[in-house]
A = this chain, B = another copy of it.
Amino acid sequence: MKKIKASIVGGSGYGGSELLRFLLYHPNVDIVSVTSRTHAGQNVSSVHKNLSKLTEMKFENSDVKDIAEKSDVVFFAMPHGAAMEMIPAIIKKTKIIDLSGDFRLNNLKDYEEHYNFGHKSPHLLNKFVYGLTEINRNLIKNADNIACPGCFPTGALLALAPLAKNDLLPEYIAIDSKTGSSGSGSIPSAATHHPTRANNIKAYKVLSHQHEPEIKQELAKIGKSNLSISFVAHSVPAVRGIFTTVHFLSKKEISSKELKKIFSSYYKHSFFVRIVDDSPESSFISGTNFADIGIFAKGKKAVVASAIDNLVKGASGQAIQNMNLMFGLDEKTGLQFPGMHP
């Protein structure tokens, strides 16, 4: 098989770092270009020093049109608001996988409410498929443009989709997420300052996080509309990992066993979802594309907990999983890294 020519626009951050980690060893991929305005001309391994001796590539500052021309697929790993300015020039000229929030929401109104930018390419919103692989697998296979889900929505939706599908959700659910610091990206900020982050637990953007409409939008597509979602993100002193705890009062009494059966059935063709016996633990999925899910019920009370690596299943890993489908490959290709313990 001819190799897929892949490029990464915005390769100096954590999204780019993780794309490189997997793509350099992907058996069906040749990386043709990695861009970075700040580091143009420098070795990729001068920024991602873990890659020393593993790649001789240099960061480029090429025009996105030139990149598109020589690429079968272009990954965008830019901060929110950047891809929407670059993509109109290359749409239809190459396959596009965007890791930012620019094309996740279908309604312009949601952007106005939850993002602090005016959307530059609203006419393209309907050209992107929402890239939560386990839920949109068939759409993704035929898509040209993918908007990869946010890290919190990935963890939450994997815990909620089987419930929405089986009409088990009440009107009100609580989604309580805990994230490591790498989700804040590679630019230092007050939220990631080690002296204060290292021993701190706090909530942020309570009831106003931009990932809430994304969760609502996708659950509506699965069949559950008009949900009242109490979404609270917390920062905890881990580096990698998002742990999401969904609390809800089931419409009817249900046992853990029955709930687990529903999940196992829903995910029976999904290699990267593992239904675990007790609670998932973020350390066991760290560095991998797995989503581990734990399921608990008592009377009508139910709790579903998921753990993902925010940079892998919550970003770069899922992006590659989607690429695999778009090019007719097994979705596992190049992603079967076992993680480390400890």
User: Which residues of A are in contact with B by a Cβ distance under 8 Å?
Assistant: 14, 17-18, 20-21, 24-25, 48-54, 171-172, 174, 176, 178, 180-182, 184, 186, 188-190, 192-204, 206-208, 228, 230, 232, 234, 236-241, 243, 245, 247-249, 271, 274, 276, 278-288, 290, 292, 294, 296-301, 303, 305, 307, 336-342
* Inter-subunit contact B237/A238 (CB<8 Å): yes
* Docked pose: A202 CA to B242 CA in angstroms: 10
Q: Which of B49, B50, B238, B286 contacts A236 (CB 8 A)?
A: B238
CB atoms of A338 and B232 under 8 A apart: no
**CB-based contact B342/A53 at 8 Å:** no
Q: Give the shortest distance, in Å, between A210 (CB) and chain B (any CB).
A: 14
Nearest 10 pairs of A and B residues by beta carbon? A174-B247, A195-B342, A50-B339, A201-B243, A200-B283, A203-B279, A174-B174, A181-B194, A176-B176, A188-B188
A194's contact among B197, B228, B245, B280, by CB below 8 Å, is which? B197
Q: Number of copies of this chain in the oligomer?
A: 4
**Are the CB atoms of A195 and B181 closer together than 8 Å?**
yes
In the complex the two chains form, what is the Cα distance from A51 to B288 in whole Å?
Answer: 11
CA distance A205 to B189 in the complex (A): 23
In the bound complex, do residue A243 and residue B202 qualify as a contact, i.e. CB atoms below 8 Å apart? Answer: yes
Residues in B neighbouring A230, C-beta threshold 8 A: 174, 247-249, 301, 303
CB contacts (< 8 Å) of A338 on chain B: these are: 20-21, 24-25, 50-51, 54
Assuming the A-B contacts A208-B298, A234-B243, A301-B230, are A199 and B283 also in contact, with contact meaning beta carbons closer than 8 angstroms in the complex?
A: yes
Quote the shortest CB–CB distance from A34 to chain B (angstroms).
14
Nearest CB of chain B from residue A266's CB, rounded to whole Å: 16
Contact status A342-B174, CB under 8 Å: no
Inter-subunit contact A285/B50 (CB<8 Å)? yes
Nearest chain B CB to A319's CB is how many angstroms away?
A: 16
Q: Give chain B residues whose Cβ lies under 8 Å from the Cβ of A232.
A: 176, 245, 247, 303, 305
Contact A200 B294 (CB under 8 A): no
Q: Give complex CA distance A51, B303 in Å.
A: 25
What residues of chain B lie closer than 8 Å to A282, measured between beta carbons?
199-202
A178→B201 contact, CB < 8 A: yes
